[in-house]
């Protein structure tokens, strides 16, 4: 039976905790027919506090079942971010020759003083599909006396060298370690000095291989790296990526060190990492990010719970004019919650036309292809009323896709919340396409099949339900448009 979450701003098809505070996605692993999603969780309040791992499972990445807290603080500290893997060959010896799940996470002491190094890596294992967890008696398994920020281990099996690899954040760099049994770790290399953005503490790395243009024989490694909020910079916390080679020990950036690549040009996609052990026949690299920003995460205007994840997205690499770029597309499973389709084809939109004036909604999806005409700007106004609107627009001359949340609703909780966020999107054959997801308090826009992504929170009031399709300064043509209401995925 479906239970609709009706609290103000509550997302209907995004993952959010039943109650209380959530931040980073953790321990994402696919095992025995289930996608596991763990997450940084404070069960005793709606702001950040002593961290636990919350837990949910899904068969389709869309409908989630909430499970009891998986990991709780212990004598080694609170439970910060980390990953989980399937130990298929029982390398750890935890599973009597069978397979099972191992979680690798940071044990963290609270500020300011700690006799021991403040952040240490530990492991836990589950012999019952993640339902119960045993912490390893030899914890912590990786300690460094010299590094203060030393956290967020992401582990994967590197088949070419037949070993486990851990990548973790170490201040302004990442470090890589290798292991045969997940219990003993050897230092392999360090990456980061002088590379990319250092506008905040480095956090939550991930490292995985992707095909370029769907070619099995042409692959590169992608390193995801989130950078924390630093008040000197406008954007708050955000996630960058590097493209390179990896030999089992060392990551080599193929770009010049000063190149900075962002995974998202909106403000609310942080600490994202990918699922481990997604079956080979599927082959997808799927990830979610935490849909918030440390700049204001603790003060967003929700009451009973705080924060949601992005929709699950598939990652790939694609060659564009100026090089290889990361592409993100919504997982196809989301199509199962589509309802009430509306289709428009071959239609010219003139200034002051609004084909969608009779449509209302706060949880919907739009798939659209525009052909540029005389208009210098066009797009959608969503979650609109007399007092509010969020604009998803395209600036033809600047070749920019933008998300304008300056009038999106409540932004009183933080000065930097109201704003316009944009990124370059180059038309192809005079066309651009957009894939848009709106879910009460968030907007995700994928431009040109996911070459450019903008993810932003919004906090419109309940009456802001109108939709507008607009063109300014001339016409634009809709080659095709599909609009769907999306069903709530909350279930008891
Ligand atoms: C990232 C982060 C991680 C840390 C966790 C603590 O958002 O700061 O580096 O493990 O959150 O909750």
pLDDT digits 0-9 by tens, 61-117: 999 999 999 999 999 999 999 999 999 999 999 999 999 999 999 999 986 677 888
Q: How far apart are CA 140 and CA 76, in angstroms?
A: 8
Q: What is the distance in angstroms between the CA of the first residue and the CA of the last residue of the chain?
A: 7
What's the ipTM?
Answer: 0.98
Determine whether 206 is an active site residue: no
Provide, rounded to the nearest whole percent, the portion of the chain with pLDDT above 70. 99
- Is the per-residue pLDDT at 45 higher than 50? yes
**pLDDT of 137-154, one tens digit each?**
999 999 999 999 999 999
Split at pLDDT 50, 70, 90, the class of 2 is very low
From the CA atom positions of the chain, what is the Rg in Å? 22
Q: How high does pLDDT run on average in the chain?
A: 96
Question: Using a 6 Å CB cutoff, which residues line ligand 1?
Answer: 23-24, 40, 51, 80-81, 106, 151-152, 203-204, 271
- Identify the pLDDT of residue 280: 74
Residue with more model confidence, 280 or 99: 99
User: Of residues 24, 152, 206, 264, which has the active-site annotation?
Assistant: 24
Using the structure block, give the residue that is written with the tokens 């403000």: 267
Instruction: Characterize the bridge pairing of strands 20-31 and 305-306.
Output: parallel
- Residue 53's nearest CA partner among 15, 80, 85 is 80
Q: How many CA atoms lie within 13 A of 135 on its CB side?
A: 21
pLDDT of residue 3: 60
Look at the chain and count its residues: 492
The token pair at 250 is 């060392």
pLDDT mean over 37-42: 98
Q: Identify whether the C-beta of residue 154 lies closer than 8 Å to the C-beta of residue 162.
A: no
Least confident of 40-44, 130-134, 276-280: 276-280
Segment 180-195, tens digit of pLDDT: 999 999 999 999 999 9
CA of residue 80 to ligand 1 center, whole Å: 6
Best probe residue, ligand 1, of 151, 154, 238, 298 (max atoms within 8 Å of C-beta): 151
Task: State residue 5's pLDDT score.
Answer: 87
pLDDT value at residue 491 = 62
| Those residues with Cβ within 8 angstroms of residue 369's Cβ, 6 or more apart along the chain or in another chain | 431, 432, 433, 478, 479, 480, 481
Give 303-360 pLDDT, tens digit per residue. 999 999 999 999 999 999 889 999 999 999 999 999 999 999 999 999 999 899 999 9
Residue for token digits 């010049």? 256
The answer on pLDDT for 492 being more than 70 is no
The Cα 277–Cα 292 span in angstroms is 26
Q: Which residues pair with 342 in a beta bridge?
A: 483
Question: How close is the Cα of 476 to the center of ligand 1, in Å?
Answer: 44
Distance (Å) from CA 166 to ligand 1 centroid = 17
Look at residue 390 and tell me whether its pLDDT is greater than 80: yes
Q: Which of 1-15, 76-90, 101-115, 369-383 has the lowest mean pLDDT?
A: 1-15
| Partners of 240 in the β-ladder | 225, 262
Query: Which residue, by CA, sits nearest to atom 8 of ligand 1?
Result: 203
Query: E strands of 180-292, at which residues?
Result: 186-191, 202-212, 215-227, 238-246, 251-253, 270-274, 285-290
């Amino acid at each position: 039976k479906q239970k609709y979450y009706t609290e103000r701003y509550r997302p209907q098809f995004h993952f959010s905790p039943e109650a209380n505070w959530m931040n980073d996605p953790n321990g994402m692993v696919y095992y025995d027919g289930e996608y596991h999603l763990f997450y940084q969780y404070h069960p005793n309040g709606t702001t950040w506090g002593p961290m636990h791992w919350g837990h949910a499972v899904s068969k389709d990445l869309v409908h989630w079942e909430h499970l009891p807290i998986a990991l709780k603080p212990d004598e080694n500290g609170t439970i910060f971010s980390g990953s989980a893997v399937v130990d298929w060959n029982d390398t750890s010896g935890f599973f009597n020759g069978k397979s099972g799940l191992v979680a690798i996470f940071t044990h963290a002491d609270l500020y300011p003083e700690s006799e021991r190094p403040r952040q240490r890596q530990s492991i836990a294992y589950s012999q019952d599909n993640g339902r119960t967890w045993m912490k390893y008696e030899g914890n912590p398994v990786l300690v460094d006396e010299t590094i203060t920020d030393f956290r967020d281990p992401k582990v994967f099996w590197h088949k070419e060298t037949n070993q486990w690899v851990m990548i973790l954040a170490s201040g302004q760099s990442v470090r890589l370690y290798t292991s045969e049994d997940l219990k003993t770790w050897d230092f392999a290399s360090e990456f980061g000095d002088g590379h990319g953005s250092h506008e905040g503490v480095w956090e939550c790395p991930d490292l995985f291989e992707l095909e370029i243009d769907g070619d099995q024989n042409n692959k590169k490694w992608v390193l995801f790296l989130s950078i924390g909020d630093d008040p000197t910079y406008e954007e708050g916390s955000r996630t960058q990526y590097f493209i390179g080679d990896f030999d089992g020990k060392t990551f080599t950036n193929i770009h010049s060190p000063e190149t900075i690549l962002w995974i998202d040009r909106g403000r609310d996609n942080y600490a994202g990492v990918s699922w481990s052990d997604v079956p080979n026949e599927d082959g997808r690299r799927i990830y979610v990010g935490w849909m918030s920003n440390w700049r204001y995460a603790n003060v967003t205007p929700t009451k009973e719970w705080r924060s949601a994840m992005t929709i699950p997205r598939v990652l790939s690499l694609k060659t564009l004019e100026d090089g290889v770029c990361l592409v993100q597309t919504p997982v196809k499973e989301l199509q199962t919650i589509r309802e009430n389709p509306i289709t428009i084809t071959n239609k010219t939109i003139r200034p002051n036309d609004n084909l969608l004036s009779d449509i209302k909604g706060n949880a919907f999806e739009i798939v659209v292809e525009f052909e540029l005409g005389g208009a210098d700007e066009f797009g959608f106004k969503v979650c609109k009323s007399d007092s509010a609107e969020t604009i998803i627009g395209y600036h033809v001359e600047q070749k920019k896709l933008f998300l304008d949340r300056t009038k999106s609703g409540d932004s009183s909780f933080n000065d930097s919340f109201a704003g316009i966020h944009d990124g370059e999107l180059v038309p192809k054959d005079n066309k651009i396409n957009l894939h848009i997801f709106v879910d009460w308090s968030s907007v995700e826009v994928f431009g040109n099949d996911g070459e450019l992504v903008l993810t932003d929170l919004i906090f419109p009031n309940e009456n802001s339900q109108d939709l507008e399709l607009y063109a300014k300064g001339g016409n634009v043509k809709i080659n095709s448009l599909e609009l769907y209401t999306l069903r709530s995925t909350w279930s008891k």
